[in-house]
Amino acid sequence: MAEQTLPNINKNICVLCGLCVDECPENVLALNHNDLIFENPQACTYCGTCEEVCSEGAVRLEYEIRWA
Amino acid sequence: MSNPLDQLWLLHGMSENVIQAFNQYARRKNFKTGEAIIWQGDPCEAVFFVLSGEVEIYRLSSGGREQILDRTPTGGCFNLIPALLESGANQANVRTLTDCELLAIAKPDFQKLLVDFPKFTLSVTRFFAERLAHMADLIETLSLYSVRQKLARFLMDQADKVRKEKATRWTQTDIARRLGTVREVLGRALRKLEEEGIVQIDREKILLLDREKLERASFGDE
């Protein structure tokens, strides 16, 4: 199975506040031993909630914009 | 072996003397993704050239809202303007979008380059002309158009850039900051374009499906 794209987390910026964990509607993320991990990556719908709630700009769902 | 300075736009067509002087003054600096390079209002200490990576230039309101002014990829440069201004303060904030290797030339050395090499000065003048045109376009876009119109123009502009150079990737938050709006409003406008079959939003890709409809949206089809 092809690896699916997940949000990009910059761990140099992430302050482990856990807001993205709390707000993710699919419970994809978790805080584990002072690390932010993808606990259920297959459930990620790329909805962007984690990026939206992150106050530090540590979570990025990037898009390439191009003509079909 | 190619010279890494060859990719710097301002040095295209410059003589060996200019390149040597540039090399003499330039200091390499490395930054990780998401690092701040300079802050608006701080005294200008150097002009920067991007050897590799991409940086983002933005301003902040007192309330913390960001306005992205531009992105500078490999080959480009930034912070030239305050090097020539009386006040000498950085005019914007700059941060890295990727790991970056930069060349920094101290302000007095940059001014010396301009005095000593007229052809280089002409290249810098052309750069300023392009910046002015870009800023005029940005002012027009931000002040005269609806979010839908701005978004349609932005999407076409970015997709056209893919054909000419390496594409830069944008989050929806980035796009909102570029267009002078907030993510929620941007998200609604994007979803509406998708519902109308004008764009398709996949993971990592926003595909533009209908140029004619996008152009109509950019001129105000609401």
Q: What is the pLDDT of residues A41-64, one digit of tens each?
A: 999 999 999 999 999 989 999 999
Partners of B171 on chain A (C-beta within 8 Å) are 48, 51, 60-63
Which of A54, A65, A66 best tests the B interface by mutation, with the highest count of B CBs <10 A? A65
Residue of chain B with shortest Cα separation from A46:
B203
Q: Per residue in B12-46, pLDDT tens?
A: 999 999 999 999 999 999 999 999 999 999 999 99
| CATH number for the domain formed by residue range(s) A8-59 | 3.30.70.20
B185 Cβ under 8 Å from any chain A Cβ: no
Write a three-state SS string for B182-199.
CHHHHHHHHHHHHHCCCE
**Model pTM score:** 0.85
**How large a percentage of chain B has pLDDT more than 70?**
96
User: How would you class A4 by CB atoms within 10 Å of its CB: exposed for 0-12, middle for 13-18, buried for 19 or more?
Assistant: exposed
- Give the closest-approach CA distance of B194 to chain A in angstroms: 13
The interface predicted TM-score of the complex, written ipTM, equals: 0.86
Residue of chain A with shortest Cα separation from B176:
A52
Work out the widest C-alpha separation in chain B, in whole angstroms. Answer: 58
- What structural domains does chain B harbor? 4-142 (2.60.120.10), 146-219 (1.10.10.10)
User: B38: which 2 tokens?
Assistant: 């300079």
What is the SS3 assignment for B205?
Answer: strand
Partners of B167 on chain A (C-beta within 8 Å) are 64-66
Lowest-pLDDT choice from B23-32, B57-66, B148-157, B184-193: B57-66
Q: Per residue in B164-194, pLDDT tens?
A: 666 688 999 999 999 999 999 999 999 999 9
B104 vs B26: CA distance, rounded Å: 5
B221 vs B214: CA distance, rounded Å: 9
Say what the pLDDT of residue B166 is.
Answer: 61
B107 vs B100: CA distance, rounded Å: 21
**How large a percentage of chain A has pLDDT more than 70?**
96
